Amino acid sequence: MSQSLVGEPEIRLDELFTEFRAGSLRLRNRFAMAPMTRGKSPGGIPNAENIDYYRSHAAGGVGLIITEGTYVRGPAAGPSDSVPRFYGYESAAGWRAVAEAVHAEGVAIVPQLWHTGVERGDEPRFEPDTASVSPSGVDFTGRPVGRALTEDDLDTLVESYVESALLARDLGFDGVELHGAHGYLLDQFFWTATNHRTDEYGGKPHDRAQFPARVVAAVRTAVGPNFPIIYRFSQWKGSDYQARIAESPGELEQLLNPLVEAGVDIFHTSLRRHWLPEFTDHGHDLSLAGWTKKITGLPVITVGSVGVDSVFRGDSIDETQAQRFSTLRDQFAGGEFDIVALGRALLADPEWVNKVRAGRLSEITPFR
């Protein structure tokens, strides 16, 4: 990867090394560390290894760190006992230390709050005696898994998200991200394959957005007007890369507008290829990030194979790094996004952002 960048001044990303502000959120540049599940918190408690991991990535030059997915209290939030939780005294102490280490490097940090829903499966290691829950009690193939969420369950889930968001605020984090992407719980309400409900939370796109919007609204009420809420969503799912929640800008608008009205500050559009247009027959060659910003008017984070040679869990990429950096720069100049998140590139080289800024491209350790 690094050799393809050497000696090509046209691919410099100087425009992205500018400050970003949104409400109380202040970032030194437009680069974020994307959330990446690691499973390295035994018993769900962040430890010294976690602190060092986040500190090193903060020192590497990003402006924002979005933590790996962290379980809310539940019910049945996820399958793994080694995924960190964002509730309880011991977890709070670990996360406070993480936040302090990141802030010492001049970097903002937000936790990603996560419930896996039906993706938890039938044989979880964490809370194995509790049945998995989801909008309709089925996976994307229609196979029964666990049970459908009741009204009481929905109330409990809202309280769980609020509990974790308040903890983030009290621990000194700079905001929260709600994980509504990749086929997990909040996304399961968006997706017709997993949402067969006939109440106010199922049916048309606007109705399928009502429970995620209810979570956002409850978090907003609890944390107040100045604590940033980021909402991550995607078309693709971990179980189906071809899945779509919206076939047109109009459908996307119906899904996103309730979230805007509920209090989202920033959208995080999860893509596997950030450079591809999303709705090719609607007169604009905009990415999903670009359409999201056009529809909502809110700041947007883009992501998707930046700085790596292959698509996430996919084939190698035909476009060169220089071509994709040029596209990224053009997308930013065109107002399609405000922040770009990096995942695998930072796993391979935590200093990636510092090296790009300094022009030390030949020193970048590529992801393999």
Residue 54 designated active-site: no
User: H or E stretch including 165?
Assistant: helix 151-170
CA distances from 223 to 114, 166, 169, 198, 293 (A): 18, 6, 7, 31, 24
Three-state SS for 237?
strand
Angle, helix 249-262 to helix 210-223, in steps of 10 degrees: 30
Q: Which residues touch 120 (CB under 8 Å, ≥6 apart)?
A: 76, 77, 78, 79, 132, 146
Is the C-alpha dihedral spanning 210, 213, 215, 220 positive or negative? negative
Backbone angles phi, psi at 262, to 5 degrees: -80, -20
User: H or E stretch including 317?
Assistant: none
User: H or E stretch including 153?
Assistant: helix 151-170
CA dist 220 and 241 (Å) reads 31
User: H or E stretch including 135?
Assistant: none
Is the C-alpha dihedral spanning 231, 262, 216, 149 positive or negative? negative
Catalytic hit among 54, 87, 161, 184: 184
The upper half-sphere exposure of residue 122, i.e. CA atoms within 13 Å in the direction of its Cβ, equals 5
Q: What is the DSSP code (8-state) at residue 131? A: P
With 0-12 CB in 10 A as exposed, 13-18 as middle and 19+ as buried, what is 131? middle
CA dist 138 and 5 (Å) reads 46
CA dist 64 and 342 (Å) reads 10
Helical ranges in 8-150 per DSSP H: 48-59, 89-103
Catalytic annotation, residues: 184
